[in-house]
Structure 1
Amino acid sequence: MSDVTDVLSLDRQVCFALAVASRAVIGVYRPLLQPMGLTHPQYLVMLALWERAPLSVKELSKLLQLDPGTLSPLLKRLEAIGYVRRQRDSQDERVLLVTLTGKGRELRSEAERIPSSVVERLGMPLEELQELHRSLTRVIAAANGAPH
């Protein structure tokens, strides 16, 4: 091969770096979430609900960028462990609302330690992580066809 850089080199691929970084960072969350009985996807659902509950399944799906078929098992598990309740909207029976239970609301105070623990475990400056978040948000928007 010539001295020209190979555009198909694994270590040059954005998709590879994102996939490995995602697995690694989720791995940092795992031991923090385990005592709460949550997986990382369930934690994301809880974050959305702590911020905006009640939410319809459709709203949650859009907010988390998950299809309803992926979201449904997460919600069933969260309901089974007593953190959320799913019920039909009294105004529109077609809408399935997700609300927090008392136990789910109480879990928030325990979860408040997670962000600082993640920053500590990563050992990176907060400013660098904030810039990474801004960059990833732009990547998501670009990949979804939004203007950047």
Structure 2
Amino acid sequence: MSVYDFTAETLEGAPAPLADYRGQVLLIVNTASKCGFTPQYEGLETLWRDYRDKGFAVLGFPCNQFGAQEPGDAAEIANFCSLTYDVSFPMMKKIDVNGPAAHPLYAWLKKQKKGILGTEGIKWNFTKFLIGRDGEVKGRFAPTDTPESLKSAIEAAL
């Protein structure tokens, strides 16, 4: 299996097969609008704008599992991202990343790259997974790892 075997859904409700990103480097991030890490949207947008012409994409997956910090519906999330951070990278439908209702993509990501001390669970909003051009998980980064701190890993994958 690879990341390309999964399909997500955009905030607008359209299917988003990850196979459409085949051959690109991806940064997959679980996001939230009311989190202390929410300002990372700005850095994620900068990465997207700086590297998208080189075959890079950021994919945001809103999640309300951590402190209920993403309470809005799809329209509210899209409005917040656009007006507050000028987000133009693809944003997906709100999902669960942990538990029995976890999106299959996240179940797979967590098995591919475990967290600290071998744990699988996502600990908080803005956990990041770097996917290589081959569709394999190259790295897992904590919420405290800023988008700017990932530049060298992204450049190496490109």
TM-score of the aligned structures, taking structure 1 as reference length: 0.31
Name the structure where helix makes up a greater proportion of residues: 1
Higher radius of gyration, 1 or 2: 1
Name the structure where strand makes up a greater proportion of residues: 2
Greater RCO (CA < 8 Å, at least 6 residues apart): 2
TM-score of the aligned structures, taking structure 2 as reference length: 0.30
